[in-house]
């Protein structure tokens, strides 16, 4: 048996949630080869230095600083589709060269085969649209359904059908299985440092840089011990700017320790980040959705309506006001339900 784990490089979330899957495979003494590109590939090499790695075609999406994100994505569709075709051809060659018996793909839609069992990990069985873009939802989601049906199994990282992914999975005629929250972190009973503020910056450019700049500006004014982890994997540089410690990247163990110790965490409302917050059971959290990213905006509304965390838009981010609202939020209850992933792997690896 030889499993190929292919991971999308859009931010670091797909890479981080693949880590517990890879660890479970290694615990079963199953040979694993990892495929990705860019920052995601760098992160996984740091986490699993002894494994074999394959570089897949880049599938970069640039997020605009202004204007419509959806229109921007539509203009990039030809590039995205070309990258999917390239990775599909490459994967067919790799199956022969490296004798893969199974493929686990985290959102890489070209990493499937009709010769061996394949699974795709995604929490989006349909895409959410708003305003004028909802008119094209039927066509786009039909295309997504066709892409998902190329895989033997579809795994959704959530506790069940009534979980946080409900709008993405309800009434979708695609067989799928819930595999619990996928996080590299585990719940801790340690007490955080009452004064430490941690900012987690992630996601595609240009919005990653804009969020970092806004966060640095406001943390400087608060005059409290603060750290920003910048989500840049190419170097382990650490520096202090205006009293705020800036760290490019941390290995999983060090980042987990920092998140556990932080009294307040400020981050994007990305799905992988929310899974990490659930798994760690963090109580004081401020989330700022990526502007124009429909999914993060929905997740922000879900978190806000359920009073799990304070949610602000990037344009109106005001950390002083956010701190005043934190006592009215319940925080994230710890837990992952790892048995669901184990059962899914048992079924897949037969």
- From first to last of its 350 residues, what are the pLDDT tens digits of the chain? 999 999 999 878 899 999 999 999 999 999 999 999 998 999 999 999 999 999 999 876 655 555 555 566 667 677 778 888 999 999 999 999 999 999 999 999 999 999 999 999 999 898 876 666 666 667 778 888 999 999 999 999 998 888 889 989 988 899 999 999 999 998 776 778 778 999 999 877 888 899 999 999 999 998 899 999 998 876 667 788 888 999 998 888 899 999 999 999 999 999 999 999 999 999 999 999 998 788 899 999 999 999 999 999 999 999 999 999 999 999 998 666 789 999 999 999 98
Q: In what order do the strands lie in the sheet with 177-178?
A: 52-55, 32-36, 3-7, 102-106, 118-121, 153-156, 177-178
How far apart CA 224 and CA 219 sit, in angstroms, is 7
57: DSSP letter: P
In this structure, the answer to whether residues 33 and 149 fall within a common structural domain is: yes
Asked, for residue 192, whether it belongs to a domain, the answer is no
- Angle at Cα 45 formed by Cα 39 and Cα 48, nearest 5°? 140
In this structure, the answer to whether residues 202 and 251 fall within a common structural domain is: yes
pTM of the full predicted structure?
0.84
Token readout for 114 is 């009709």
Nearest to 14 by CA among 80, 77, 104, 83: 104
In this structure, the answer to whether residues 222 and 315 fall within a common structural domain is: yes
Asked, for residue 221, whether it belongs to a domain, the answer is yes
Count of domains for the chain: 2
Asked, for residue 322, whether it belongs to a domain, the answer is yes
In this structure, the answer to whether residues 257 and 141 fall within a common structural domain is: no
Assign residue 131 a region (left: φ > 0; alpha: ψ between -120 and 50; beta: otherwise). left
Asked, for residue 246, whether it belongs to a domain, the answer is yes
131: DSSP letter: G
In this structure, the answer to whether residues 160 and 264 fall within a common structural domain is: no
Nearest to 111 by CA among 121, 100, 103: 103
In this structure, the answer to whether residues 271 and 174 fall within a common structural domain is: no
């Amino acid at each position: 048996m030889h499993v190929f784990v292919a991971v999308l490089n859009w931010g670091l979330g797909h890479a981080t949630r693949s880590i517990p899957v890879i660890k479970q495979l290694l615990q079963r003494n199953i040979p694993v080869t990892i495929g990705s590109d860019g920052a995601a590939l760098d992160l996984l090499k740091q986490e699993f230095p002894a494994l074999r790695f394959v570089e897949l075609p880049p599938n970069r999406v640039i997020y605009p600083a202004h204007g419509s994100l959806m229109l921007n994505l539509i203009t990039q569709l030809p590039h995205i589709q070309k990258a999917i075709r390239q990775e599909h051809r490459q994967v067919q060659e790799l199956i022969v060269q490296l004798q893969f018996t199974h493929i686990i793909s985290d959102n890489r839609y070209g990493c499937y085969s009709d010769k061996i069992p394949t699974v795709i990990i995604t929490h989006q069985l349909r895409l959410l649209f708003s305003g004028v873009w909802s008119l094209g939802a039927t066509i786009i989601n039909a295309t997504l359904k066709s892409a998902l049906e190329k895989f033997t199994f579809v795994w959704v990282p959530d506790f069940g059908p009534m979980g946080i992914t409900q709008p993405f999975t309800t009434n979708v005629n695609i067989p799928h299985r819930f595999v619990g929250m996928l996080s590299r972190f585990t719940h801790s009973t340690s007490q955080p440092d009452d004064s430490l503020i941690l900012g987690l910056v992630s996601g595609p450019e240009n919005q990653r840089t804009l969020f970092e700049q806004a966060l640095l500006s406001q943390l400087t004014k608060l005059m409290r011990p603060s750290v920003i982890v910048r989500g840049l994997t190419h170097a382990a540089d650490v520096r202090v700017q205006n009293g705020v410690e800036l760290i490019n990247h941390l290995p999983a163990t060090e980042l987990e320790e920092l998140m556990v110790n932080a009294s307040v965490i400020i981050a994007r409302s990305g799905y992988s980040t929310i899974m990490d917050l659930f798994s760690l059971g963090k109580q004081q959290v401020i989330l700022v959705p990526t502007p124009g990213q429909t999914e993060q905006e929905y997740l922000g509304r879900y978190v806000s309506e359920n009073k799990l965390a304070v949610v602000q838009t990037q344009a109106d981010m005001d950390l002083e006001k956010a701190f005043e609202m934190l006592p009215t939020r319940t925080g994230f209850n710890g837990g992952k339900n790892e048995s669901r992933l184990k059962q899914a792997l048992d079924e897949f690896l037969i």
